[in-house]
Amino acid sequence: MSLADQATHSSSGGSFLFESHPPIAIPENFDSDVQLMADTAFQFARNEVIPLIERLDEQEEGLMMSLVRKACDLGFGGPDSPEAYGGLGLPKSVATRILEMLSLNGSFSTTIGVHQGVGQMPIALFGTNDLKSRYLPPLTAGEYMGAYALSEEKSGSDALSGSAKAVCDGSDYVLSGKKMWISNAKWAGSFIVFAKVDGQEFTAFIVERDMPGVSISREEHKMGLKGSSTARLILDNVRVPAENVLYHPGQGHKVAFNTLNIGRCKLAAMAAGQVRSALSIGTKYAKERKQFGKPIASFGLIRDKIARSVSSFFAAESMLYRTANLIDRAFASVDPNGNEVEENRKAAEEFQIECSLVKVFATETLSYAVDEALQIHGGYGFTEEFPVGRLYRDARVMRIYEGTNEINRVFAFDRIVKRGLVEKLADASPTTVIHEFLIRGSRAAKDHLGEQEIVACASDLAMLHFASQSANVRAEQLKASGHANSEVALAAASHFEAVATTTAASRLIELLDRCGLSAKVEMPAVSFAGSATVSEAAFEANGYPL
Ligand SMILES: Cc1cc2nc3c(=O)[nH]c(=O)nc-3n(C[C@H](O)[C@H](O)[C@H](O)COP(=O)(O)OP(=O)(O)OC[C@H]3O[C@@H](n4cnc5c(N)ncnc54)[C@H](O)[C@@H]3O)c2cc1C
């Protein structure tokens, strides 16, 4: 049974807000075939990528491309791209697991993540059969890489304000403009490019590297992800055939944003792989380093850093596979006799709230985990002698791309309101204290949509509820099935609940005060006792114990 087949009840986007303890898909229920693929991906990252990271960071000629080709030979070039066009045709949840395991190093993670994600997905979801058969087989085989070119110098978060232009000329469009921050630019053979037809109609095109007028500028000098390629794409009167338009002229925003919904879920998987690295590096160092005659792993404050990272990661992982499975089920219900592209668009859109929240939560968990892993290294963490400095630098961008965390926070609550979910939430019976805080906070915040400080508090309450509910339900399911790790999972979920409840209380107090309401919030007793079990298990496992 793959995760996609798990018999969970059907949900619509945002229903986690008011459902009480729904059964959810959990990574422990992946079948043995999926676990084998995930293990192969993990071994590939550990044995083939990690030993090369210094050379990758120096951008040694041909090295990254050859690694990506090796990964493609194992089927990782397009795990969820359609089988008919060279992909493995796997459910998104399985592709997500593979990506998590491939993501132990940030540079490789971004490179393969963009290649198999936003570099291909617009073609798989929105392309005609002709476009799929022209572009997906060489992409999935790793003949060249894929890239996604939305951002420009003056349009980042406000992506639709871009100035790249397309002018219709007979059966072609002529594209001109500059796209900035394009991951994989150096190695890409195809780019998903967004430009405005006649300066008005935002449209998605497939542009080939070899088309006359296409060029790539020098690499950006980045603080991290030095092994990945990030450069500008210059379009100087590039003739692109009209059949290379994805979806419809003037409807490029639907291609861009729906690809990014799923891209955000995948980005959470990329963060997850890097949290695994931080935990294994942090626990190992803490056990080896002695001060005051003992390993620093024996000190409460060091154990607490590991416990918080693990518990938060357990919650992030629980949200991630719950969301990926929901997306799978949305795609599984696509009517084969309907308009495939239109149905794909709806499926990619349905769980946009969950995708935004898991992106924010997983990337902030990563920031916390790498920061504390560095702190555990003391002064040595601040040098280039140890791998933790690279992890720290590589992780930073995760809160910036695929929609900054500010944009995702604003977007998530905006969607909650626009889908009429605040009203449904108001009718729900609170299941936990965080849920009660969320109900109270969202009711107050819905009349203050123009005030971002309030909206962000409401989004955080939704995110903390989603995270703690997912962690608790997963731990209970593990206990019910007698899983070997259920004791650690229950401890992680309860420890996370304590952390999340105290954070949620402070977010609610701020929200109510900013709304001009009484900010009196009754705080229940919470227990941090689970942290001892969690840190013990992590030190024993030399990393993430679940
Ligand atoms: C290493 C790297 C790789 C990248 N790869 C790609 C790629 O492959 N393809 C691609 O198209 N792009 C890519 N990007 C671009 C990335 O998506 C943008 O950097 C991101 O969308 C933010 O845009 P910006 O940098 O222009 O920041 P801005 O939009 O200028 O934002 C600056 C700050 O203001 C905040 N802000 C902006 N608007 C609002 C608002 N309405 N409310 C509240 N706060 C706001 C932001 O959150 C941020 O903190 C990449 C970037 C980097 C650094």
Whether residue 39 is contained in a domain is answered as no
Pocket test for ligand 1, best of 157, 363, 406, 409 (most atoms within 8 A of CB): 157
Q: Is the pLDDT of residue 62 over 50?
A: yes
Measured by CA distance, the residue closest to atom 43 of ligand 1 is: 406
Averaged pLDDT, 409-434: 94
Q: Which atom of ligand 1 is nearest to the CA of 149?
A: 11
Q: Could you identify the residue written with the tokens 């709230």?
A: 353
Specify the pLDDT at position 6. 52
The secondary structure of residue 164, as a DSSP letter, is -
Averaged pLDDT, 262-268: 96
Whether residue 410 is contained in a domain is answered as yes
Measured by CA distance, the residue closest to atom 50 of ligand 1 is: 181
Specify the pLDDT at position 9. 52
Digit-coded pLDDT (tens) for 163-196: 999 999 999 999 999 999 999 999 999 999 999 9
The whole-angstrom separation of Cα 366 and Cα 143 is: 32
Domain termination residue (choose one: 251, 268, 299): 251
The whole-angstrom separation of Cα 222 and Cα 57 is: 11
**CA 219–ligand 1 middle distance (angstroms):** 18
Digit-coded pLDDT (tens) for 65-116: 999 999 999 999 999 999 999 999 999 999 999 999 999 999 999 999 999 9
Whether residue 242 is contained in a domain is answered as yes
Asked if residue 406 lies in contact with residue 363, where contact means CB atoms within 8 angstroms, the answer is no
Compute the mean pLDDT over every residue in the chain, rounded to the nearest whole number: 95
Whether residue 194 is contained in a domain is answered as yes
**CA 156–ligand 1 middle distance (angstroms):** 5
Whether residue 527 is contained in a domain is answered as yes
Domain termination residue (choose one: 226, 251, 276): 251
Specify the pLDDT at position 335. 82
Digit-coded pLDDT (tens) for 195-248: 999 999 999 999 999 999 999 999 999 999 999 999 999 999 999 999 999 999
Q: Which range has the worst mean pLDDT, 131-135, 261-265, 330-334, 397-401? A: 330-334
* pTM of this prediction exceeds 0.75: yes
Digit-coded pLDDT (tens) for 451-493: 999 999 999 999 999 999 999 999 999 999 999 999 999 999 9
Q: Which residues line ligand 1 (CB under 6 A)?
A: 114, 148-151, 156-157, 181-183, 222, 225, 230, 397, 400-401, 404, 406-407, 410, 452
Domain range holding 156? 146-251
Asked if residue 275 lies in contact with residue 233, where contact means CB atoms within 8 angstroms, the answer is no
Question: What is the CB-side half-sphere exposure of residue 283 using CA atoms within 13 A?
Answer: 22
The whole-angstrom separation of Cα 258 and Cα 345 is: 7
Digit-coded pLDDT (tens) for 8-53: 555 799 999 998 878 999 999 999 999 999 999 999 999 999 999 9
Domain termination residue (choose one: 224, 251, 278): 251
**CA 401–ligand 1 middle distance (angstroms):** 6
The CATH number given to whatever domain includes residue 217 is 2.40.110.10
Q: Which pLDDT band holds residue 7 (cuts at 50, 70, 90)?
A: very low
**C-alpha dist (Å) from residue 301 to 170, 296, 348, 367, 507:** 68, 9, 42, 18, 25
- % of the chain with per-residue pLDDT over 90: 93
Q: Which atom of ligand 1 is nearest to the CA of 402?
A: 17
Specify the pLDDT at position 336. 76
Domain count, the chain: 2
**CA 410–ligand 1 middle distance (angstroms):** 14
Q: Which pLDDT band holds residue 519 (cuts at 50, 70, 90)?
A: confident
The whole-angstrom separation of Cα 475 and Cα 114 is: 32
Q: Which atom of ligand 1 is nearest to the CA of 225?
A: 1
Whether residue 183 is contained in a domain is answered as yes
Whether residue 420 is contained in a domain is answered as yes
**Where in the sequence numbering do the catalytic residues fall?**
402
Q: Is the pLDDT of residue 4 over 50?
A: no
**CA 356–ligand 1 middle distance (angstroms):** 15
Q: Is the pLDDT of residue 512 over 80?
A: yes
Residue 253, φ and ψ in degrees, nearest 5 = -65, -30
Residue 34, φ and ψ in degrees, nearest 5 = -65, -40
Whether residue 32 is contained in a domain is answered as no
Nearest to 326 by CA among 19, 78, 25, 23: 25
